[in-house]
């Protein structure tokens, strides 16, 4: 009777594991990497970074695993040799931990369009590929395709990538500067208002609705003032700029529609299903580009300057 009960319990455990996508006979994520001929450089990188114990640990984890071809492309992109990469343990650890989640996430449960926080601490965005399937937009707004999914391990699940992901290396202000000349007036305004530190801090994560230079030119015409006059009025400038900042990370897929969105300035605006913003004065601005990822949040590009009440 005891033996029969033990067998039933074992069968129940196996059923539960299967339902969760794993099996008590599956190898660990480390073994999956080490035994896959497409993941040879990843296995070397894991060993060089001292992360083997993690991938062999209890988990559960999700590993987005770049193939050898993905690593070869990265070496070319960075202009370094494999030995250079494997020798830079700090960089290697940051990059590899950016590919790891501290939970099991199968392909069907990947939150498309929403930020995914990694063990490294940064985030990336899963997206639907144009040709079908899934891709990932990393912190530097590079795109990687997911080429194989749901390789199960006893401590998690592995998805293969055709490109190595890189965590963000620029904050909101640095990203705006790098996007010149599209945001040159915005950057000047942020500097003039003394908001550089606030928009560069690592926390809290922010969302900036960023007006283009053309949007600012329209504002100057509407107000009948020069750029110098606008930049000199720091009180007005601070009020207007902080009205464009939401004090949380809100990617396009999660923008609440037809409801008040509270800004850092304290006022609010609304976004409709065409991604058009209506500000407190009734003015309307179109969101013309979304989800530019940065180390401390995201930028959405808009074609008009928003005005608070």
> Does position 16 have pLDDT exceeding 80, yes or no?
no
Q: Domain 17-161: give its CATH superfamily.
A: FAS1 domain (2.30.180.10)
Residue 206, token pair as written in the block? 């922010």
Burial (CB count within 10 angstroms: exposed 0-12, middle 13-18, buried 19+), residue 24: exposed
Instruction: Name the residue ranges covered by the structural domains of the chain.
Output: 17-161, 172-302
The average pLDDT across 81-85 equals 96
- 24 — pLDDT class (breaks 50, 70, 90): low
Taking residue 111's Cβ as centre, other Cβ atoms within 10 Å add up to 12
State how far the Cα of 56 lies from the Cα of 157, in Å rounded to an integer: 12
Question: Which regions of the chain does DSSP assign to beta strands (E)?
Answer: 61-66, 100-101, 116-117, 123-128, 134-137, 143-153, 156-161, 206-211, 245-246, 261-262, 268-271, 276-278, 284-294, 297-302
Can 17-161 and 172-302 be said to share one CATH topology? Answer: yes
pLDDT per residue as tens digits for the range 41-70: 999 999 999 999 999 999 999 999 999 999
Q: Give me the DSSP letters along 199-268.
A: HH-SSS-EEEEEE-HHHHHHHHHHHT--HHHHHH-HHHHHHHHHTTEESS---GGGPPBTS-EE-TTS-E
Q: Which fold has domain 172-302?
A: FAS1 domain (2.30.180)
pLDDT in tens, 128-171: 998 889 999 999 999 999 999 999 999 999 999 999 999 999 99
């Amino acid at each position: 009777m005891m033996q029969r009960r033990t067998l039933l319990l074992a069968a129940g455990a196996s059923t539960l594991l299967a339902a969760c996508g794993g099996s008590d006979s599956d190898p660990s994520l480390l073994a999956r990497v080490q035994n896959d001929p497409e993941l040879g450089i990843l296995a070397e990188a894991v060993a060089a970074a001292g992360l083997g114990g993690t991938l062999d640990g209890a988990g559960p984890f999700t590993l987005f695993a770049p193939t050898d071809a993905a690593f070869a492309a990265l070496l070319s992109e960075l202009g370094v040799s494999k030995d250079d990469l494997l020798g830079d343990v700090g960089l290697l650890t940051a990059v590899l931990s950016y590919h790891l989640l501290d939970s099991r996430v199968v392909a069907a449960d990947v939150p498309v369009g929403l930020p995914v926080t990694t063990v490294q601490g940064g985030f990336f965005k899963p997206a639907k590929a144009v040709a079908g399937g899934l891709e990932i937009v990393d912190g530097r707004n590079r795109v990687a395709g997911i080429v194989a999914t749901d390789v199960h391990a006893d401590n998690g699940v592995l998805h293969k990538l055709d490109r190595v992901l890189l965590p963000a290396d620029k904050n909101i202000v640095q990203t705006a500067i790098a996007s010149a000349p599209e945001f040159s007036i915005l950057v000047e305004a942020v500097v003039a208002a003394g908001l550089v530190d606030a928009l560069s801090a690592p926390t809290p994560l922010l969302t900036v609705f960023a007006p283009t230079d053309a949007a600012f030119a329209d504002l100057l015409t509407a107000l009948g003032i020069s750029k110098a006059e606008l930049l000199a009025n720091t009180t007005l400038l601070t009020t207007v700029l902080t009205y464009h900042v939401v004090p949380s990370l809100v990617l396009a897929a999660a923008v609440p529609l037809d409801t008040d969105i509270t800004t850092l300035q304290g006022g609010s605006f609304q976004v409709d299903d065409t991604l058009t913003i209506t500000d407190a004065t009734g003015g309307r601005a179109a969101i013309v580009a979304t989800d530019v990822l940065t180390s401390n949040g995201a930028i959405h590009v808009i074609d008009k300057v928003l005005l608070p009440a």
